[in-house]
Amino acid sequence: MNSKSSLLYFEIISFIFASIFGTLLHFTYEISNNNLVVASFSAINESTWEHLKLLFFPIFITTIIGYLYFKNKYSNYLCIKVKSIILGLSFIVIFFYTYTGILGKNIAIIDILSFFVALFIAHYYSYKMMNNYKTCNKNLSLIILLLIFSCFIVFTYFPPKIGLFIDPLTNTYGFFNNK
């Protein structure tokens, strides 16, 4: 199998994995009896921020796996994957606040579908750009990836008191349910 075919296959498998694992992450915190460690990578409430974890952590896992396999075939692998993660996360936030701003409310099925669309966009972008994007700063990409990872961990427990982090059902923020 050539590099382009193996990349396409990997992106399809990654999309399927992220779809399933991301969906499960919506429930793992509750299933774990509100475990402190599980809270770090699972949605702990209904805030927009916590729902971004559903996209980030599955793609983060497949990025690590893919990097181990593709780093010698695609010198820009890490850069493209970081950009695709940012693109997917951005789509969720922009789409959610745009459509809820227009309608005045959120609709669960639209939220769910936007998650899958964001995953598709991230994986499609990654596949399409892998052969086209030549310049890359791996160190900067790694720093950005680790910064995003760290933000998800820290803001689970100590979220800023802004709308992105508020649970609309309880009007609380983060793990410690701060009002």
pLDDT in tens, 63-112: 999 999 998 899 899 999 999 999 999 999 999 999 999 999 999 999 99
In the chain, count of helices (H) and strands (E)? 7, 2
The count of structural domains within the chain is 1
Residue 179, in any domain of the structure: no
Mean pLDDT check: name the lowest of 16-25, 81-90, 130-139, 159-168. Answer: 130-139
Q: What is the Cα Rg of the chain in Å?
A: 17
Expressed as residue numbers, the domain containing 147 is 3-173
Residue 179 pLDDT > 60 = no
Task: Report the share of the chain in percent with pLDDT over 70.
Answer: 98
In a domain, 92, yes or no: yes
In tens, the pLDDT along 111-148 reads 999 999 999 999 999 999 998 867 789 999 999 999 99
Q: CB under 8 Å to 70, separation ≥6 — which residues?
A: 3, 7, 10, 77
Does a structural domain hold residue 51?
yes
pTM for the full predicted model:
0.93
Does residue 89 sit within a domain? yes
Q: Looking at the predicted structure, is the pLDDT value of residue 37 above 90?
A: yes
Looking at every residue in the chain, the average pLDDT score rounds to: 94
Per the document, the length of the chain is 179
